[in-house]
Amino acid sequence: MGQPAAIRAAATPTVGKAMLNKYARAFFTRVLTPFAAFLIRRGVSPDTVTLLGTAGVVAGALVFYPRGEFFWGTVVITLFVFSDLVDGNMARQLGRSSRWGAFLDSTLDRVADGAIFGGFALWYAGQGDDNMMCAVSIFCLASGQVVSYTKARGESIGLPVAVNGLVERAERLVISLVAAGFAGLHKFGVPGIQWLLPIALWIVAAGSLVTLIQRVVTVRRESAEAEAAARDASGAAK
């Protein structure tokens, strides 16, 4: 089916990102398919993998990050983040893709994101002793939740929300986790690298704000277009 010109224009700048996500996901799907099949043979359900993956991310973030153990925390989180691909792979192999599975996965993604940025906030509020960065971490946490909500809420009222913002969930996680992992090398004697994490959090905060504005503007435009189309249809029917 074709898209309206306005929607196509809004989607054009994200083609490169979509292609990158497509090929990266395809690569990891091939790598993780044997592991997913192994879990299925052992009677493990996709929902169990989703729950365990989220528990691992939350534990890695809230046990290691508040103590400043950014390298090991990131290692643990990264291992469990791949559960997001494994559970979907298992569901496809079983032919059990469902609304419940999508709902559970999306909901627990928000929990995991909150734990990661909450872990940063706890570090800066405690041993990190930096109220400004604590506030930035909290903003990253809150704005990430709101960015996700704007899309879900827009779609719930029948709008396509046809925009992929500047910094969405994948970008927030990659930027933050890569920076945290490298920042953790400071404890291994790498000088100056600890500044990568504050820089990354500022980037995520600014990008999340831009993304939020993009989505709000998109929903406003799509809402106006939908209401105008409804008025035109109503007038034509009279």
105 is in an annotated binding site: yes
Nearest-angstrom CA–CA distance, 28 and 24: 6
106 is in an annotated binding site: no
| Closest C-alpha to 219, from 147, 167, 159, 164 | 159
Specify the 3-state DSSP secondary structure of 238. Answer: coil
Which residues fall within 8 angstroms of residue 235, CB to CB, at 6 or more apart? none
Angle formed by the axes of helices 83-94 and 99-125, nearest 10°: 170
* 179, two tokens: 């920076």
129 is in an annotated binding site: no
14 is in an annotated binding site: no
Residue 33: which H helix or E strand, with range? helix 15-41
Phi/psi for 192 (5° steps) reads 75, -10
Selected catalytic residue, list 109, 129, 130, 232 = 109
92 is in an annotated binding site: yes
98 is in an annotated binding site: yes
47 is in an annotated binding site: yes
218 is in an annotated binding site: no
109 is annotated as an active-site residue: yes
Give the residue ranges of the annotated binding site: 47-50, 84, 87-88, 92, 98, 105, 109
Give the residue ranges of the annotated binding site for Mg(2+): 84, 87, 105, 109
Give the residue ranges of the annotated binding site for a CDP-1,2-diacyl-sn-glycerol: 47-50, 88, 92, 98
Q: List active site positions.
A: 109
